[in-house]
Structure 1
């Protein structure tokens, strides 16, 4: 990540009752939705909302999603979700997530999504040449190895 960019604060999310299962914890499927909400939050805070990106003709489909559950999240509990772009080459991208309890910082889950870029005709596209603004938003915040 470029040193001159301010960090993007984690996405804050309070668990809703309808997201719980019979055991009174958040159903596992909701974490994948929370990852999507976190990506939308990231783009908003990076100054290029997803709705604007789509208007410019770029979409970012999900190739795969995974989640590893560590500690249960319960109704009305607030979590913070951190996002890191761990791989980006202008054509494909990998994003890692860490879900932590806001109150005590315990790790609730970790996850990863993989994506690629397409234009409005759903054709794969390398964003560096055709969509430099998209390239800059992701490349500038990619985690250094």
Structure 2
């Protein structure tokens, strides 16, 4: 998947040595960590902080992750992780991620997040003001 609209967040990062495997290429699982880091930047951009969402009584948990590799990246390369909302449902949302090195596509993926009550951790629809802020970015 490549994004057809401007990202909500474009998070720069530099590949660290310990993220690379013996072949000198970023180990695959680190892309999910990059997605996670970018998701917190997404919540900061939309709500001011991740805690601002939790303060409204709702949280999110990852229910599914998908990832596709397009090209390798290596130590000390500068990457950008872009985030968009691919889908906003009643009790879940899908964030789409694109990792680029300049104009080159490195990886794409999604995380499906389920909204949960911040205390009980049971599935719950987000409050309307939370939904409205997310809808502004769909």
TM range (shorter): 0.7 to 0.9
In the superposition, the TM-score normalised over structure 2's length comes to 0.88
Q: Is the 8 A contact 2:9 2:84 kept in 1?
A: no
Which one has a larger percent strand, Structure 1 or Structure 2? 2
Moved over 4 A (4+): none
Offset of 1:90 from its aligned partner?
Answer: 3.3
1:99 corresponding residue in structure 2: 99
In the superposition, the TM-score normalised over structure 1's length comes to 0.84
Offset of 1:88 from its aligned partner?
Answer: 0.4
Deviations 1:25-58 (A, max 9, x none): 1100000011111111111122331122223321
For residues 45 and 11 of structure 2, the distance between their equivalents in structure 1, rounded to whole angstroms, comes to 10
1:37-116 to 2 correspondence within 5 Å? 37-102=37-102, 105-116=103-114
1:124-143 to 2 correspondence within 5 Å? 124-127=123-126, 131-142=127-138
CA RMSD of aligned residues (A): 1.6
User: Structure 1 residues 51, 12: closer, same or farther in 2, change over 3 A?
Assistant: same
Offset of 1:124 from its aligned partner?
Answer: 1.0
Structure 1 unmatched ranges of 5 or more = 1-5
Residue-pair matches, total: 132
Structure 2 unmatched ranges of 5 or more = 1-5
